[in-house]
C-alpha cells in the first residue's frame, strides 16, 4: 500500500478533502469488497504519480457511515473527484487505472483553465 494514499474518517474528511487546494479522488470502499481490492493497486500508483498535484483519499464506508451517507454511497467502490470542495466527477464500480487517471486529469485541466496556468 502506498504511503501517499490518505485514509480519511468522518472526523477529518472535511480537512483532507473539502479544504484541499488540490483535486482529490476519493475512493469509498470496504475491506470485504472484492472490486475495491482490485482497484487498490491502481490507486496506489496514481497517488505516487500525482503526488503534489492531486490527492488520493480512501474512506472505509463501514467505519465512516456519516460521510458515506452524506455522499449517497449505495454501492462500492464509488469514486468521487472533488475540486474546491465540490464533487466534479463520479464513478461507480471498479475501473482501470487509465480511467481513474482521466478523472484526475479532467479536474486538473479544469483547475488550469480557471487559473490560466499550464502544467
pLDDT single digits (tens) 73-94? 999 999 999 999 999 999 999 9
Question: Hey, how many other C-beta atoms are within 10 angstroms of the C-beta on 110?
Answer: 16
The domain spanning residue 24 has which CATH number?
Answer: 3.40.30.10
In a domain, residue 80? The reply is yes
Task: Report how many domains make up the chain.
Answer: 1
H-assigned helices in 50-118: 65-70, 97-115
In a domain, residue 119? The reply is no
- Of 33, 42, 46, 59, the catalytic one is 33
pLDDT single digits (tens) 27-55? 999 999 999 999 999 999 999 999 999 99
Q: Is-catalytic flag, 24?
A: no
Range of the domain at 42: 6-114
Answering whether pTM is above 0.85, one says yes
Locus of grid cell 476519493: 26
Q: Is-catalytic flag, 33?
A: yes
**CA 9, 15, 19, 21 torsion-angle sign:** negative
- Of 5, 26, 36, 47, the catalytic one is 36
In a domain, residue 11? The reply is yes
In a domain, residue 1? The reply is no
Amino acid at each position: 500500500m502506498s504511503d501517499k494514499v490518505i485514509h480519511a474518517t468522518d472526523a477529518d474528511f472535511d480537512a483532507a478533502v473539502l479544504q484541499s487546494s488540490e483535486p482529490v479522488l476519493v475512493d469509498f470502499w470496504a475491506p470485504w469488497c472484492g472490486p475495491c481490492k482490485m482497484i487498490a493497486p491502481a490507486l496506489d500508483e496514481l497517488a505516487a504519480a500525482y503526488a503534489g498535484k492531486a490527492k488520493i483519499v480512501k474512506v472505509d464506508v463501514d467505519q465512516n457511515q456519516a460521510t458515506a451517507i452524506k455522499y449517497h454511497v449505495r454501492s462500492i467502490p464509488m469514486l468521487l473527484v472533488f475540486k474546491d470542495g465540490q464533487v466534479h466527477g463520479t464513478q461507480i464500480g471498479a475501473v482501470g487505472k487509465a480511467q481513474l487517471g482521466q478523472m484526475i486529469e479532467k479536474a486538473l485541466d479544469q483547475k488550469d483553465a480557471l487559473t490560466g496556468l499550464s502544467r
